[in-house]
Amino acid sequence: MTLLSNGRIYLDWNATSLICNPARTAFLDLINEVGNPSSIHLEGRKARIIVESSRDQILELLGFADGKLVFTSGATEAAALILHNTNFSCSPIEHECVKKWCNISIPVNGAGQVDERESTKLDVLQIANSETGVLQNLPKSLYCTDAVQAIGKVNCDFQELAPKTVIMSSHKIGGPKGVGAAFLGDEVKIAPLIKGGMQEMGYRAGTENFILIAAFSEAIKYSKKLLSEGIWEKVKELRNYLETEIQSVAKDTNVAGIESNRLPNTSCIVTPGWSGENQVIELDLMGFSVSSGSACTSGKISASDTLLAMGIDETTAKNGLRISLGPNTKKSEIESFISAWKSLYIKHKRNYLR
């Protein structure tokens, strides 16, 4: 269940997921191993085997035929490694770790999708948006795609799409924080961002954390299993139930990107006159963990770039609330959330109409 040990209900999976049992087991089984993967003695060789077997497993699980997988500290570093020394273009709906390196010039339509007429020009395009869950139609052979929110939740046919580079993260798919990866196609030539030793084929200096890497690999394997078993289809049913119940009471509440294909677990509801930040605070006090946007932009009291790009006015774009479910979210938890949100909505409307 997503009922936490302190009795709270966790509905912020797009910010970070709960660690899955296979990843936890891998982590705990290796926590006392002492080897440095760059050492040639027995302990070092054992650590190196773990790194390389994890690398091979991830490449195979995700269908990468030709190329290299470079382990990083997370998606932000993976994005920086891929994008730091060239001028790329992207849309305003990309994650902050991508936008920091790019020329933000690609338009987005009201459904939250990059216009297909523009997509052939794209250098960087996410598969799924973290705030709305909107899925993009990726052109083949794209230079870079951010797959952080998509891996394990929807089918990502990287062999068919053949992106030259891919950004990945562990803690979004049931793995530990502090590890991610950048896939680099064989033809990609980039300079290292972190310089020093020759770890990670010279692309990323620093001792590899083989414990986190092994747990990351197991999380990907587990997430693929959930996908094949249809777990996310059941999550989608819960997400749709949540949206239907909310809109049955709150007629003025809209669901951003509802007309598009979306991640099965993500709902971004927008209620005029009711700040997303205030909703997060009030729900937090009632024992629910949700967010008002991407975790990396929390703390800034400003309109969502994603909602603004979709043509929503600045005042309304501050009113988004993101609810993101996990593979073990229960209907009873969603019912509890709906009840709490409805009570707050009625209170809000009473105050709003004064």
Positions marked active-site: 296
Would you tell me the crossing angle of helices 276-285 and 331-352 to the nearest 10 degrees? Answer: 120
Rounded-to-integer distance, Cα 100 and Cα 226, Å: 33
Cβ contacts of 339 within 8 Å, gap of 6 or more: none
Question: In this structure, how many other beta carbons lie within 10 angstroms of the beta carbon of residue 155?
Answer: 11
Question: 24, exposed or middle or buried, with CB in 10 Å at 0-12, 13-18, 19+?
Answer: middle
- The answer to whether residues 256 and 268 touch, using CB atoms and an 8 Å cutoff, is yes
What is the Cα–Cα distance from 252 to 160, expressed in whole angstroms? 41
- Name residues whose C-beta falls within 8 Å of residue 206's C-beta, 6 or more positions apart in sequence: 194, 196, 197, 199
Tokens 């990843």 locate to 23
Cα 55 to Cα 101: distance, rounded to the nearest angstrom = 27
Contact (Cβ atoms closer than 8 angstroms) between residue 88 and residue 102: yes
In sequence order, the 6+-apart residues with CB closer than 8 A to the CB of 138 are 119, 125, 127, 145, 161, 163
